[in-house]
Amino acid sequence: MLLDITFLDDATRPQGPKLENLTPAQKAPGQHLKMIHDHLRQNMSVLRSMIDAVARGEMSAAEVEQVAETMPLVENYRRFGSLCGQQCQIVHMHHSIEDQAIFPVLSAKAAAFAKVVERLIAEHEVVHDVLVRLIGALQAMARNPGEETFADVKALYDAFERILLSHLGYEEESIGDALGYYDIGV
């Protein structure tokens, strides 16, 4: 199932120039980007712990539901609609803002970051592909719960977590300081 997904490789990621002697104000946009990403990381950490507990037989479906009830993601679901739809919309909106508003400005202001921006956009496509597959697997598991469908969800979640966490770190490291240096708001 995952053989056709291209995993991200740090060795092939372009690097922009290192920017030094930035002021606290210039570092602020990169820190804001990291705070946005940290929210995604926190939700992923909770999901990871539940998936692992279920896989070890330490957590039942009822216990997963009880823990999930306290997640901010579920609160947003109650307020705004479909949980999967909302999470997808958040990731899609975040990437769309970057692709359409932040990355083109960075490329225009600093040609040295053009290859980095091109790579980040390509990684957004990989993240989206895996997210769509994960949602499909979750829907299949809801229709037909069992070991096989759980294994599919776990494998896709493992891939999604690996790809998204790697992407978020690369993005923060490669353009975080540049956002403030070139006065690009987040």
- Average pLDDT for the chain: 81
- Residue-wise pLDDT tens digits, 18-51: 999 999 999 999 999 999 899 888 878 877 887 7
pLDDT at 80 > cutoff 50: no
- For the 24-181 domain, the top CATH level (class) is mainly alpha
| Half-sphere exposure at residue 182, Cβ-oriented, CA atoms within 13 angstroms | 22
The average pLDDT across 92-117 equals 88
Instruction: Spell out the domain ranges in the chain.
Output: 24-181
Confidence of residue 1 (pLDDT cuts 50, 70, 90): low
Helices and strands of the chain, counted as H and E runs:
7, 0
Q: Identify residue 46 by its one-letter amino acid code.
A: V
**pLDDT at site 8:** 77
User: pTM for this one?
Assistant: 0.82
- Higher-pLDDT residue of 134, 110: 110
Query: What was the pLDDT predicted at 77?
Result: 43
> Cα–Cα distance between 43 and 144 in angstroms, integer?
25
Instruction: From 24, 12, 19, select the one nearest 175 (Cα to Cα).
Output: 19
What is the per-residue pLDDT for 47?
Answer: 76
DSSP SS3 for 171: helix
